[in-house]
Copies of this chain bind each other. A is one copy, B any other.
Amino acid sequence: MPMFADRLIASVRELGPLCVGLDPHPDKLPAIFGVPSIGTLALWSEAVISHAAGRVAAVKPQSAFYEYWGPPGMVVLERTCKAARKAGLEVILDAKRGDIGSTAEAYAMALIGPEAAYPSDCLTVNPYMGMDTLEPFIARAQITGSGIAVLTRTSNPGSADFQTLKADGQPVYAHVAKALASPIRRLMGESGWSGCMLVAGATGPEEARALRALAPQALFLVPGYGSQGAGAKEAVAGFVPGPNGLEGGLVNASRSVTFASGAVHAQNAMDWDLAIIEAIETAQWDLMRACATGRTQ
């Protein structure tokens, strides 16, 4: 089995950089799925995955919206991860874990790789506690041919509070990016891309380019495209020329795709199906166009 970075970039080259985020906020699940419940959660997750399959390289289930429902929600998360993998999608499990040594090891066992309780291809992790706390995640990713996505520069308004504090002339997020040099090497694929991804928000294209200079081979996971306000051009600002135009990671869209107006207000299942498919194809096309245009600049 190829490494995560190679699987991902091959799929991105074929389908485009869009990652569909599964953020099943209980108040936002469309009425046609019924009253919010574990059943609704399961049905909605399955349906989104069935339309994402073959149209995008990856999906990103947000753990919080499954944890919300207690243990039965975790059964749905487990099934969602399995169904997505079975459908040929790369699963970026968005749980943002981080803890000391043996605790991080337990999280890694639970959340990274095909044999995990919640099977994934890549786990989002938080670096605040330091590089020793990332080590068990990196090691587990290495063993299982998976990846990690390290919060570096996020796209939320408050992300500047601590991430952009300047130390020795460089923002904290640049220190994080530089500290990832060794894990980036360790999770390097044959494609020349590494499965040690950087979460690099689409709200700061100049910062994305600066991060690209600091970590030329790290795949980026770019949040903030779509409902968080950034356009396709900003979203791919950290990408570089590849065989089919700009490439260099995934651009995530959650609500702007899965809660697109046509989907939320759908009157029946077929309308919902059509709205989701249209939202996915539109976002994918928007991003692919930005990648193609970028090539000729």
Let me know if A156 and B128 touch, CB within 8 A: no
Asked if A67 is at the interface of the complex by the 8 Å CB criterion, the answer is: yes
Asked if A284 is at the interface of the complex by the 8 Å CB criterion, the answer is: no
Tell me, in angstroms, the Cα distance from A71 to B80 when the chains sit together: 13
Tell me, in angstroms, the Cα distance from A130 to B111 when the chains sit together: 24
The complex is assembled from copies of this chain, and their number is: 2
- Known contacts being A117-B70, A118-B70, A179-B161, is A154 close to B107, with CB within 8 Å? no
Chain A contact surface mostly: helix
Tell me, in angstroms, the Cα distance from A234 to B284 when the chains sit together: 55
For the side of the interface on A, what is the size category? 35 or more
Interface residues of A in 115-172 (CB under 8 A from B): 117-118, 126-133, 151, 154-163, 165-168, 172
- In whole Å, how far is A277's beta carbon from the nearest beta carbon of chain B? 25
Let me know if A175 and B162 touch, CB within 8 A: yes
The residues of B that contact A296 with a CB separation of less than 8 Å are: none
Tell me, in angstroms, the Cα distance from A131 to B154 when the chains sit together: 13
Tell me, in angstroms, the Cα distance from A252 to B130 when the chains sit together: 20
- Which residues does A use to contact B, with CB under 8 Å? 23, 25-26, 62, 64-65, 67-75, 78, 96-104, 106-107, 109-111, 117-118, 126-133, 151, 154-163, 165-168, 172, 175-176, 179
